[in-house]
C-alpha cells in the first residue's frame, strides 16, 4: 500500500478528521478509509487538533536518500581495512564487526546504519554470514562452588596492532562457570 500522503490530499484527511471531531464519523470508519492503524490515526488526530490550519500529511525526508561519493569511499576504505584484519591468519578474528565499523565512521562524522554497511560489505565481498552454532552443553563435574577450578591458556596475537603473541591464562569455577581470573602473560609457564 502506498503512503498516506500519496493517496489523499491534506483537505481530504482534514474533512475526515473534522467529521470525527464533530461526532459524525467513527474512528474505525476513518481508519478503514485511510488504510491506517489505530496508533497512526491518533497521531494524525493529535496533530490536527494542535493546529488545524497548518495540518498536513505531506512527508519531507530529513536525511538524504543517497550517500555522497566521499561517504561511500570512506565506507569502502573501512570495510577493506576490516577485511585485511579478518583475513590475517595470525589473528584469532574470524568475522566482521559491522557495529564497530559504524562506530568508527561515526567518530569521523559519518552516520550510517549497520544495514547500509552490510549492504556495501556484500558488494565488496567483505561479508561472512554468521555460522549457526550448536548448543554448547557443559557437564558440571562438581556439586558446589569452588570444588574444582579449571585453568586454561590460549596463545594468540590478540590485537591486529600487537607485534607478538601473548598467552591468556584463565581460571573458571566448574560449578558456577564464573571467570575467576584472567591475565595476559608473555609466555605460558607452569
pTM across the whole model = 0.48
Q: What is the pLDDT of residue 182?
A: 92
Domain co-membership, 73 together with 44:
no
Q: In this structure, is residue 156 part of a structural domain?
A: yes
Flag whether 60 is in a domain.
no
Residue 103 lies in a domain: yes
Judge if 78 and 44 occupy the same domain: no
Whole-angstrom Cα distance, residue 170 to residue 163?
Answer: 22
- Of 146, 190, 137, nearest to 172 by C-alpha is 146
Containing 171, the helix (H) or strand (E) segment is strand 166-173
The answer as to whether 131 is a domain residue is: no
Place of cell 530529513: 62
Residue 174 located in a structural domain: yes
Domain tally, the chain: 3
Instruction: Please report how the helices 69-87 and 98-107 are oriented relative to each other, as an axis angle in degrees rounded to 10.
Output: 130
User: Which residue segment(s) compose the domain that 95 sits in?
Assistant: 69-123
What is the overall mean pLDDT for the chain? 86
> pLDDT tens, 10-34?
899 999 999 999 999 999 999 999 9
For the cut 60, the answer to whether the pLDDT of residue 1 exceeds it is: no
The answer to whether position 137 is within a domain reads: no
Query: Residue 186: its pLDDT value, please?
Result: 87
Is residue 61 situated within a structural domain?
A: no
Cα–Cα distance for residue pair 17/52, rounded to 1 Å? 10
What's the pLDDT tens digit per position in 71-119? 999 999 999 998 988 888 887 788 888 999 999 999 999 999 999 999 9
What is the average per-residue pLDDT within 64-74? 85
pLDDT of 111-159, one tens digit each? 999 999 999 999 998 888 877 777 766 676 777 888 888 888 888 888 8
Q: Is the dihedral of CA 163, 129, 78, 113 positive or negative?
A: negative
Amino acid at each position: 500500500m502506498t503512503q498516506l500522503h500519496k493517496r489523499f490530499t491534506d483537505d481530504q484527511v482534514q474533512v475526515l478528521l473534522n467529521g470525527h471531531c464533530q461526532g459524525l464519523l467513527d474512528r474505525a470508519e476513518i481508519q478503514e478509509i485511510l488504510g491506517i492503524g489505530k496508533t497512526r490515526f491518533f497521531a494524525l488526530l493529535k496533530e490536527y487538533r494542535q493546529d488545524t490550519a497548518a495540518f498536513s500529511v505531506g512527508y519531507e525526508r530529513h536525511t538524504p536518500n543517497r550517500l555522497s561519493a566521499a561517504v561511500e569511499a570512506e565506507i569502502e576504505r573501512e570495510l577493506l581495512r576490516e577485511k585485511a584484519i579478518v583475513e590475517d591468519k595470525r589473528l584469532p578474528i574470524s568475522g566482521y564487526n559491522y557495529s564497530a565499523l559504524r562506530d568508527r565512521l561515526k567518530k569521523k562524522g559519518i552516520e550510517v546504519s549497520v544495514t547500509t554497511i552490510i549492504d556495501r560489505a556484500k558488494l565488496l565481498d567483505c561479508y561472512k554470514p554468521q555460522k549457526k552454532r550448536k548448543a554448547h552443553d557443559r557437564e558440571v563435574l562438581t556439586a558446589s562452588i569452588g570444588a574444582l577450578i579449571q585453568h586454561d591458556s590460549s596463545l594468540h596475537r590478540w590485537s591486529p596492532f600487537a607485534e607478538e603473541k601473548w598467552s591468556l591464562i584463565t581460571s573458571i569455577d566448574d560449578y558456577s562457570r564464573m571467570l575467576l581470573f584472567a591475565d595476559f602473560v608473555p609466555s605460558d609457564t607452569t
